[in-house]
Amino acid sequence: MSESIGLQISEAQATYDKIQARYEEQLAILKSELHAAMQHTIMLQTLKETVDNEMNEIYGVIHPIRRIPVELLKQIFEETLRTREGYKMWQATQISHVCQYWRAVALDTPSLWSKLCIDFRYDPLNLIIEYWNWMIERVKMTPVDVHFYSLGGMQQSGAAVSEHNREEQKKVDACSLLRIPVIRELNIDVDSTYPTDQAFSMITGFPRNTAWWRSVGHGPRAAAGWADFL
Of 38, 62, 86, the one marking the end of a domain is 62
Indicate if 101 and 124 belong to the same structural domain: no
Q: pLDDT for 11-21, tens place per residue?
A: 778 888 888 88
| Amino acid identity at 209 | N
Mean pLDDT of 19-32: 89
Find out whether 192 and 165 touch, Cβ atoms under 8 Å.
Answer: no
Mean pLDDT of 55-72: 82
Indicate if 93 and 172 belong to the same structural domain: no
Q: pLDDT for 104-128, tens place per residue?
A: 999 999 988 888 888 998 888 999 9
DSSP letter at 63 equals -
Indicate if 100 and 133 belong to the same structural domain: no
Indicate if 165 and 187 belong to the same structural domain: yes
Between CA 108 and CA 70 the distance in angstroms is: 10
Residue 2 has pLDDT above 70, yes or no: no
Between CA 23 and CA 17 the distance in angstroms is: 10
Indicate if 177 and 227 belong to the same structural domain: yes
Indicate if 82 and 168 belong to the same structural domain: no
Can you give the pTM of this predicted structure?
A: 0.59
Tally of structural domains, the chain: 3
Indicate if 135 and 103 belong to the same structural domain: no
Task: Kindly give, in sequence order, each residue whose CB lies less than 8 Å from that of residue 129, ignoring residues fewer than 6 positions away.
Answer: 174
Between CA 143 and CA 209 the distance in angstroms is: 10
What is the model's pLDDT at position 1?
65
Indicate if 129 and 88 belong to the same structural domain: no
Pairing of strands 144-151, 212-216: unpaired
Between CA 201 and CA 230 the distance in angstroms is: 7
Indicate if 123 and 159 belong to the same structural domain: yes
Between CA 52 and CA 141 the distance in angstroms is: 43
Mean pLDDT of 147-169: 83
Indicate if 169 and 205 belong to the same structural domain: yes
Between CA 174 and CA 179 the distance in angstroms is: 10
In the predicted model, what is the mean pLDDT of the chain? 81
Q: pLDDT for 83-101, tens place per residue?
A: 655 567 788 888 889 888 8
| Amino acid identity at 216 | V
What is the model's pLDDT at position 60?
72
Q: Which domain holds residue 78?
A: 65-112
Q: pLDDT for 173-211, tens place per residue?
A: 999 888 888 888 888 888 888 888 888 888 877 666 555
What is the model's pLDDT at position 213?
53
Indicate if 126 and 176 belong to the same structural domain: yes
Of 62, 79, 95, the one marking the end of a domain is 62
Indicate if 206 and 121 belong to the same structural domain: yes
| Amino acid identity at 2 | S
Residue 142 has pLDDT above 80, yes or no: yes
